[in-house]
Structure 1
Amino acid sequence: MNSLGSSTKNFDARLVIGPIQVGGLLSAALFGCLSCQSYVYFARFTNDHLILKITVSAVILIQLVHFVCIISTLWTMTVSTYGDPSQLRVLPLAADLAIPLSAFTAFIVQSFYAFRLWKLTRNVFLPILCEIISVIAQISTLIILPNAFSMADLTTFENNRVLPIALSLIARAVCDVITTAGMVWSLKRNRGFDIGDMTTTTTMIDRLIYWTVETGLATSLMAVIVAVLFLVLEQNFVWFGVWLMWPNVVGNSLLASLNRRLLLRETRGASVQSCGGGGGGLNAITFRAGSIFNHKQTY
């Protein structure tokens, strides 16, 4: 699949430069969004658990290096190799380095979501299943690294590594779908508990469900899109351009899920005032939902 021809004469550099340039520029924009969300997080959630802060910091630092790799890749493809497109038959070193960086970002975020699923459901089966699938995806990515750094031809490398690449992408998508479905199911179950102000509680649970589906679909759909493009489309590298954006989508989904606690805090404050300062029912449903309104607990 994706055969670009065996000779330099038949090689069309546009099929490599175009997707990577568009995907790289969009990834840079997403990294800007990630930076803004990171500032909001560290400014407003100073009481979060140290482990959570380390997790967020690791994602940001990895994506910073990923951003540098993308800029270097774009420079190589559009400036350094200008006039000699045959050099693009092998990906630049910076693009090869972006592969493990993307994998580590996805693994960290999916591990966080698996932990949150366990906190929410107190059931170990789904979190362990998600973590196993994420590990499979991680191993599949690491398997292709030696070949990526030593590749002599981009098309040959892609054709020889179809199985591990596809397995990695599909496993990531499956992990995200299972995690999202598990959290939505648990929240729907909590929605039926008769505690406190049911109007406020139901509204908050509905909002949590909506946000969970929204962030979960963003990451899983990106993984599915990349996998489909990789397996279906031929004669181009559109999948690789979309894949460059994917880790920043994953990182933004993590920060969005954390920063949205600001809105929940406002809703909680309004509920406490309307109840005359009680808030007992809300605290109960908050605990059942993983204590997401309390900064001092692990989200």
Structure 2
Amino acid sequence: MSTFDARVVIGPVQVCGLLSAALFGSLACQTYLYFARFANDHIALKATVSAVILIQLGHFVCVISTLWTMTVSTYGDPYQLSVLPLALDLAVPLSGLTVFVVQSFYAFRLWRLTKNVFLPIFCQMLSVLAQISTFVVTAKAISMTNVVTFGEQQLGLIEVSFIARAACDLITTVGIAWGLKKQRVSDIRGTSTMIDRLIKWTIETGLITSVMAFTLATWFLVLKQQNFMWIGVWLLWPDVVGNTLLASLNRRWLLRDNAPRTGTQSYDMNTIVFSTRAAQPQADPLESFKDRDIQAFQEAEHAINPGQKPIHIRAIV
């Protein structure tokens, strides 16, 4: 009891679990926006989004159960935390499934964009390798007797999983950005701006997941015997991956609204262009007579009092 420090065991899991719940709420909102805005998307893309939200729903339930176990059920008996809760063991393969689905989507996008078979197949092999490692780690985690000993024994498999995920994200990000860069050959300002924005979005979403995977691998090597920080970030990781996928899909709405149009005017994606050729409203003849009467009255008044400046109509509007 004297050697137990809740700040390094319960703290990271609790903080990251709450952040994971918040990100799941964001993922649910993005999913609703996706199905509301892109009802005509291909059934395969809709199935991908549905799979992500359903898997993350199960992951969310596991996270809540883990928080309950670590903060309520084991209260006063911290030695029970030497073994990970069963809900946390189940959250690990669900996390891997979410990342696997998203990485498969990006590998398919890379193939459609570059028409290069080698890179997508290589990325998919890395993702499959990581998923197999995750399943093996999960099977052994259920029968573990000590979390520190488990981390030492499964060091290789866990590191392979993290590094393979990070390499897959990095390759797909660079490949998609390079493919978009090669297609930036149009001199139309709107088209070039659109491609530049797609490249920026690809790098933003891809680097976030890659950095998180490399961070997990580093923290697991350095901190596995000191605290549960790597476990907390592991719980947070799939929610970040799912949100990046939905963000990249929902951003197409901005491209749809600001797509370049044919015509004599140049449309910028960052501005809303209003046509200057709109028909001007017809002048009211009563207003014309009224203005004419006011002007005649001011001229007469000026003739009587030449020192007084006339009051212009625009000054009182």
TM-score, normalised via structure 1 length: 0.86
Summarize the alignment of residues 69-218 of structure 1 with structure 2, pairs less than 5 Å apart: 69-191=62-184, 193-194=185-186, 198-218=188-208
Inter-partner Cα distance in structure 2 for 1:30 and 1:217: 18
Offset of residue 14 of structure 1 = 3.4
In the other structure, the counterpart of 1:238 is 229
SS of structure 2 residue aligned to 1:272: coil
Inter-partner Cα distance in structure 2 for 1:65 and 1:36: 17
In the other structure, the counterpart of 2:309 is none
Whichever residue aligns with residue 256 of structure 1, its letter is A
Offset of residue 16 of structure 1 = 1.6
Assess, with a 3 A threshold, how the Cα gap between structure 1 residues 147 and 50 changes in structure 2: closer, same or farther.
same
Matched, 1:219 2:209: yes
**Percent of aligned pairs with the same residue?**
66
Whether contact under 8 Å (1:13, 1:88) holds in the other structure is: no
Whether contact under 8 Å (1:37, 1:256) holds in the other structure is: yes
Inter-partner Cα distance in structure 2 for 1:275 and 1:109: 41
In the other structure, the counterpart of 1:16 is 9
User: Which of 258, 261, 264 is the equivalent residue of 2:255?
Assistant: 264
Whichever residue aligns with residue 272 of structure 1, its letter is R
Offset of residue 243 of structure 1 = 1.0
Offset of residue 212 of structure 1 = 0.3
CA RMSD of aligned residues (A): 1.5
Greater Rg by CA:
2
Deviations 1:110-159 (CA, angstroms, capped at 9, x unpaired): 00000000011011111001001111111111111221101111111111
Whichever residue aligns with residue 205 of structure 1, its letter is I
Whichever residue aligns with residue 240 of structure 2, its letter is V
In the other structure, the counterpart of 2:240 is 249
Question: Stretches of 4+ moved more than 3 A in 1?
Answer: 8-14, 273-276
Whichever residue aligns with residue 140 of structure 1, its letter is S
Whether contact under 8 Å (1:229, 1:239) holds in the other structure is: yes
Q: Where does structure 1 lack aligned partners over 5 or more consecutive residues?
A: 1-7, 277-299
Offset of residue 39 of structure 1 = 0.6
Whether contact under 8 Å (1:13, 1:86) holds in the other structure is: no
SS of structure 1 residue aligned to 2:248: helix
Inter-partner Cα distance in structure 1 for 2:94 and 2:233: 15
Number of residue pairs the alignment of both structures matches: 265
Whichever residue aligns with residue 84 of structure 1, its letter is D
TM-score, normalised via structure 2 length: 0.81
Deviations 1:72-127 (CA, angstroms, capped at 9, x unpaired): 00011101111111111111110000010001000000000000000110111110
Offset of residue 167 of structure 1 = 0.6
Whichever residue aligns with residue 133 of structure 2, its letter is S
Offset of residue 13 of structure 1 = 4.0
Whichever residue aligns with residue 212 of structure 1, its letter is T
In the other structure, the counterpart of 1:3 is none
Whichever residue aligns with residue 246 of structure 1, its letter is W
